[in-house]
Amino acid sequence: MNRDFVLKGNIVYAPVLGELFIAENAFLVVRDGKVQAIKTEYQGEAIDYGNRLIIPSLCDMHVHASQYAMAGMGLDLELLPWLLAYTFPEESRYADRAYAEEVYEAFAKALLRAGTTRACVLGTIHTDTVLLLMDILERTGLTAYVGKVNMDRNAPKPLCEDTKTSLGETRRWIEESLKRYTHVKPMITPRFIPNCTPELLKGLGELAREFGVPIQSHLSENTGEVAWVKALEPDAAFYGQAYEKYGLFGDGVPTVMAHCVQSPKEERALLAKNGVLMAHCPDSNSNLASGMADVRAMLDAGVLVALGSDLAGGCTLSILEAAAQAIRISKLREAAGGGRALTMPETFYLATSAGAAFFGDGPGFTPGSPLHALVLDDSHLLGTRDLKPAQRLERCIYLSRDVKISAVYANGKKIR
């Protein structure tokens, strides 16, 4: 495919938190797969998307590929019993390559339909089917960090490796994946502290630094989980400090921690100090009764925040829906006396530019960054022709299930 082309339409992106850049009937010039410029005039051939919106594609900073087939199940339970009753039995099935291939193929296609082209993905403990997942994501054209999950305690026998095996398999997986892919990379993934012994946590921190690969896990999601961590790590003043002890909490290593619903002020400060990104997963937090994360307090403390679907704690892969849910939950917090609610431009930034930064790209359509873009068609919604692009974008967030994604571009190529 020719990687030099021009897109024409109504271009909208978030250059910074809370602001929108809008260029109506403008031209997005792409050279060698990278954004070159946005122009109001262009003499030459262009791919004309008419009155449709051209926005950056979405970033899902926390999603469990291995839970795709169990979405919508068991959500009358809270986190810890849900893991035992539904998640762990499902993840045990990924020792079966045929089953893993069926689900992972469907998962990759669903990510694409949702307009997500960059994601932080969790697999299972099974090295070979995690490599299969990475094969599929690479072939689909997506960019991703993918984790082989590590567990060596407090899990069912089929999902519990001994410490030496877990570290050895993680090393094998990292070495294989670093030489195998262009756009899909490995990510160290201790499931969470209750499932990992101190020896395993320490070894994973060492591997992250040895190979220069990022880290992802779960943090302060649920009150029962937080209490369990306190019992396991009594010398840690708070959950994040336990990760930090083992070299798994940023401080020079790119790190994503999902949820942070129950994070105290001290933990927020450490997240900010160490440059750890909070993956805010509002749908999952609601479904599993984990609580309402204080995103405004995180942002005010200087914490990096982006959005995640957390499928299958969340019921949908749509990050546009996650953005709408994030706004709603922040409004409930404000009504209950919490901080100022999130705005649409802020959540649009969290859905796009904030995640892109973790992948090393500039915000939105920054010149020099690889093109990741969606074309949204809202022409069938009543009243569209009378609205400005910002108003249309707001409706696309709140009415995302009714909006058509006409085209998806990733790494400078049209992939859908």
Q: What is the 3-state secondary structure (H, E, C) of 155-216?
A: CCHHHCCCHHHHHHHHHHHHHHHHCCCCCEEECEEECCHHHCCHHHHHHHHHHHHHHCCCEE
pLDDT at 48: 98
d(CA 376, CA 379): 9
Question: Which positions ≥6 away from 98 have C-beta within 8 Å?
Answer: none
The candidate with the shortest Cα–Cα distance to 218, out of 170, 257, 172, 182, is: 257
172, pLDDT greater than 60: yes
Q: What is the pLDDT of residue 385?
A: 85
Nearest CA to 391 out of 341, 354, 344 is that of: 344
Q: pLDDT tens digits, residue range 296-333?
A: 999 999 999 999 999 999 999 999 999 999 999 999 99
Fold category of 58-351 in CATH: TIM Barrel (3.20.20)
Question: Are the C-beta atoms of 300 and 271 separated by less than 8 Å?
Answer: no
pLDDT value of residue 82: 97
User: Strand 184-186's sheet: what is its strand order?
Assistant: 58-64, 116-122, 143-147, 184-186
Helix axis angle, 344-351 to 319-335, nearest 10°: 140
Q: Stretch 200-205: mean pLDDT, rounded?
A: 98
Please name the fold of domain 5-57+363-414.
Urease, subunit C; domain 1 (2.30.40)
User: Is residue 1 pLDDT above 70, yes or no?
Assistant: no
Q: Give residue 3's pLDDT band: very low, low, confident or very high (50, 70, 90).
A: confident
Instruction: Give the alpha-carbon dihedral of 214, 220, 224, 225, to 10 degrees.
Output: 10
What phi, psi does 183 have (nearest 5°)? -110, 0
Q: What is the pLDDT of residues 63-97, one digit of tens each?
A: 999 999 999 999 999 999 999 999 999 999 999 99
Longest dimension (CA), the chain: 67
Q: Could you give the residue range(s) of every CATH 3.20.20.140 domain in the chain? A: 58-351
Mean pLDDT of 161-179: 97
| pLDDT tens-place string over residues 325-358 | 999 999 999 999 999 999 999 999 999 999 999 9
Secondary structure of residue 43 in the 3-state scheme: coil
Range(s) of the chain covered by CATH 2.30.40.10: 5-57+363-414
Q: Do residues 58 and 115 make contact, with C-beta atoms less than 8 angstroms apart?
A: yes
Q: Residue 46 above 70 pLDDT? A: yes
